[in-house]
Amino acid sequence: MRAMQLAAPGRAGAPALVAVERPDPVAGDGELLLRVTACAVCRTDLQLCSGDLAARRLPIVPGHQLVGRVEAVGRGAEGWRVGDRAGVAWLAGTDGTCASCRAGRENLCAAAEFTGWDRDGGFATHAVARAAFALRLPEGFGDLEAAPLLCGGVIGYRSLKVSGVRPGGRLGLYGFGASATLTIQVARHWGCRVFVCTRSEAERQRALALGAEWAGGYDERPPEPLDAAITFAPAGSVVAAALRALDRGAAVAINAIHLDRIPELPYADLWWERSLRSVANFTRDDAREMLALAAEIPVRTEREVHPLAGANTALDRLARGEVRGAAVLQCSDE
């Protein structure tokens, strides 16, 4: 198999991933071997490769939005056959027995493993995944179209749930990259009024084209107080701006695994039962619900395609804010 592997975090502006040849992996008990066809590139991949997110294992193959075809089914991997199409997302496994798992909150499992962080991911021609955590993908989405749904779409959907926004509510989206462009489509489907803050004029225009009622900069306040907000930018100053825009009793959901810092806040911005909530991973139920909803709406993904060997270029373009929609690696020669 071919893979783009991270051996050590890179310096700013330096490519961190190295092309390697490895023996094809083998599906163990309860696992699937996939020939990867597509893998979307996430800001979390960028943070891992730059060292902002501490590596859990090195070397590691990043990538946690992968689509592929089942090439082998390990013993006990029920419900899958060779040739099936499968998606693999961030949540790679849990213990299934802890209090969080038993309460339906497997996203908080202390023993959880994550694709591209604990287990090799999809920046490769092959990958192994636990069958119980592989996802069925809706018809109507090609592999390149489906890949961005597996993190940007799913974590955006969970962020909507964590924010507490209700159909028809006033929702603020802070930052407008790949995840936000999918999240707004669900929010508009629910009849939410959406207000977008982002530093990019091009992103503001894209937000308006996707149904936002208003779009402005981070230093601007939406014209009405918000019933909920989601922040996508990994900057604490953006979280503070979102908090100031909330109505009483509303919440900011922070969609980030890494944030630079939370700045000092005047208590007046938090008073009146406003709240900050982090979004930590997602459950398999979140993923299944989002994928079904994506087919129902239907959600449209915007993407730019790179070859597997171009993973460093895709990461660099993401870091520079040059990617329109999602960057997706085409991993198979087929």
Q: What is the pLDDT of residues 273-300, one digit of tens each?
A: 999 999 999 999 999 999 999 999 999 9
Given a cut of 70, whether residue 11 has pLDDT beyond it is: no
Q: What is the pLDDT of residues 97-132, one digit of tens each?
A: 999 999 999 999 999 999 999 999 999 999 999 999
As given in the structure block, the two tokens for residue 121 are: 């991911």
Percent pLDDT > 70 in the chain is 98
DSSP 222-258: -SS-EEEEEE-SS-HHHHHHHHHTEEEEEEEEE--S-
Determine the pLDDT at residue 324. 86
Q: What is the pLDDT of residues 148-205, one digit of tens each?
A: 999 999 999 999 999 999 999 999 999 999 999 999 999 999 999 999 999 999 999 9
As given in the structure block, the two tokens for residue 63 are: 């990538």
Best CA proximity match to 178, nearest among 23, 46, 19: 46
Given a cut of 80, whether residue 12 has pLDDT beyond it is: no
**What's 146-158 look like in SS3?**
HHHHHCHHHHHHH
Find the farthest-apart pair of alpha carbons in the chain and give their distance in angstroms, rounded.
58
Best CA proximity match to 189, nearest among 259, 294, 93, 286: 294
Angle, helix 43-50 to helix 311-319, in steps of 10 degrees:
100
How many other C-beta atoms are found inside a 10 Å radius of the C-beta of residue 247? 14
SS3 category, 18? strand
Q: What is the pLDDT of residues 299-331, one digit of tens each?
A: 999 899 999 999 999 999 999 989 988 999 999
| Alpha carbon distance 223, 166 (integer Å) | 19
Determine the pLDDT at residue 10. 81
Contact predicate 37/334, CB 8 Å: yes
How many other C-beta atoms are found inside a 10 Å radius of the C-beta of residue 252? 28
Determine the pLDDT at residue 5. 96
Domains delineated in the chain: 2-141+302-330 (3.90.180.10), 153-278 (3.40.50.720)
Contact predicate 321/202, CB 8 Å: no
Determine the pLDDT at residue 23. 94
As given in the structure block, the two tokens for residue 304 are: 């730019």
Angle, helix 152-163 to helix 284-296, in steps of 10 degrees:
100
Contact predicate 196/180, CB 8 Å: yes
Given a cut of 60, whether residue 228 has pLDDT beyond it is: yes
Distance linking the first and last C-alpha atoms of the chain: 14
Q: Kindly state the average pLDDT of the residues 254-263.
A: 90
Q: What is the pLDDT of residues 155-164, one digit of tens each?
A: 999 999 999 9
Please tell me the pTM assigned to this model: 0.94
As given in the structure block, the two tokens for residue 155 are: 């974590």
